[in-house]
């Protein structure tokens, strides 16, 4: 633990270029708008990570609060209907243009499986170096949801998502994530996923996804 005033050890957090591992190469090949939006969500995620690590003085807290409030006020008149929003809807971006869950960077994806990496920064810390137990199902829902919805399948919703925490999931490490289709029966699709820290199984999950009927919300 770092006391107030000391610099936290960033050596495990940053690459030699000074970038956080999960903040690099975030494009699958999007357009200029996507690239700009990606930069925005990267900056926001980076801010959240640094805020989570910091112990600012009262004066800085007040000044950051004012800056953030001003930015929020600037966005107020720009609110649009859900279908027209950008946040979380950019499938051409590795992050999907969102900061709610850590970026799941999928290197291999086919109709039945997906694998890649995930990196939980300090924002996702639960305690004692372990990722918050709520953030892990979030990532499983993200990868299983993407796989369930892949390859032109009708939109799916998660009916259940059962997670087993097998050992702590460490923050600030690049972890391996895998997901695969287990079975398909009419509208029901069962998928499983794992997160590993090298050869250590951190967590695993099973999800049931149901294909929505036309008009079903």
Ligand X SMILES: CCCCCCCCCCCC(=O)SCCNC(=O)CCNC(=O)[C@H](O)C(C)(C)COP(=O)(O)OP(=O)(O)OC[C@H]1O[C@@H](n2cnc3c(N)ncnc32)[C@H](O)[C@@H]1OP(=O)(O)O
The answer to whether the beta carbons of residues 176 and 195 sit under 8 Å apart is: yes
Measure the CA–CA gap between 111 and 107, rounded to whole angstroms: 14
Measure the CA–CA gap between 217 and 105, rounded to whole angstroms: 28
* Residue 177 C-beta: closest distance to ligand X, Å: 14
Q: Which of 10, 110, 188, 200 binds ligand X (CB under 6 A)?
A: 188
Measure the CA–CA gap between 124 and 101, rounded to whole angstroms: 9
Q: Is 146 in the site for ligand X (CB under 6 A)?
A: yes
Q: Which stretch binds ligand X (CB under 6 A): 12-20, 142-150, 163-171, 175-183?
A: 142-150
Of the pair 141, 204, the CB lying nearest ligand X is at 141
Nearest residue relative to ligand X (C-beta):
145
Measure the CA–CA gap between 93 and 83, rounded to whole angstroms: 17
- Helix, strand or coil, per DSSP, at residue 174: strand
Q: Which of 49, 105, 141, 204 binds ligand X (CB under 6 A)?
A: 141
- Measured between alpha carbons, how far is residue 171 from residues 22, 124, 202, 206, 215 in Å? 12, 7, 12, 22, 40
Q: Is 158 in the site for ligand X (CB under 6 A)?
A: yes
Query: Residue 158: beta bridge partners?
Result: 209
Q: Look up residue 176 and give its DSSP letter.
A: E
Q: Which stretch binds ligand X (CB under 6 A): 24-32, 122-130, 198-206, 208-216?
A: 208-216
Q: Is 113 in the site for ligand X (CB under 6 A)?
A: no
Q: Is 159 in the site for ligand X (CB under 6 A)?
A: yes
Query: How many CA within 13 A on the CB side of residue 58?
Result: 0
Q: Which of 20, 145, 171, 189 binds ligand X (CB under 6 A)?
A: 145
Q: Which of 138, 149, 168, 192 binds ligand X (CB under 6 A)?
A: 149
Strands 130-131, 104-109: pairing is unpaired
Q: Which of 175, 177, 205, 210 binds ligand X (CB under 6 A)?
A: 210
Helical (H) or strand (E) element with 202: strand 200-211
Q: Is 115 in the site for ligand X (CB under 6 A)?
A: no
Q: Is 10 in the site for ligand X (CB under 6 A)?
A: no
Of the pair 118, 130, the CB lying nearest ligand X is at 118
Of the pair 130, 179, the CB lying nearest ligand X is at 179
Of the pair 146, 178, the CB lying nearest ligand X is at 146
Q: Which of 38, 105, 142, 204 binds ligand X (CB under 6 A)?
A: 142
The answer to whether the beta carbons of residues 97 and 41 sit under 8 Å apart is: yes
């Amino acid at each position: 633990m770092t006391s107030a005033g000391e610099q936290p050890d960033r050596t495990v957090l940053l690459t030699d270029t000074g970038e956080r591992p999960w903040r690099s190469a975030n494009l699958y090949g999007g357009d200029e708008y996507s690239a700009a939006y990606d930069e925005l969500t990267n900056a926001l995620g980076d801010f959240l990570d640094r805020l989570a690590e910091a112990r600012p003085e009262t004066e800085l807290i007040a000044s950051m609060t004012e800056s953030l409030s001003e930015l929020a006020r600037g966005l107020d008149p720009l609110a649009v209907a859900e279908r027209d929003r950008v946040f979380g809807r950019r499938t051409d971006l590795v992050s999907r243009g969102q900061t709610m869950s850590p970026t799941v960077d999928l290197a291999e994806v086919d109709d039945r499986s997906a694998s890649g990496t995930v990196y939980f920064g300090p924002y996702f810390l639960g305690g004692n170096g372990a990722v918050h137990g709520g953030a892990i199902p979030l990532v499983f829902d993200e990868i299983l949801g993407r796989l369930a919805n892949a390859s032109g399948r009708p939109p799916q919703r998660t009916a259940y998502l059962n997670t087993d925490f097998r050992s702590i999931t460490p923050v600030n490490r690049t972890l391996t994530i895998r997901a695969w289709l287990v079975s398909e029966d009419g509208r029901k699709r069962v998928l499983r996923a794992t997160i590993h820290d090298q050869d250590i199984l951190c967590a695993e999950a099973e999800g049931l996804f149901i294909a929505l009927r036309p008009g079903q919300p």
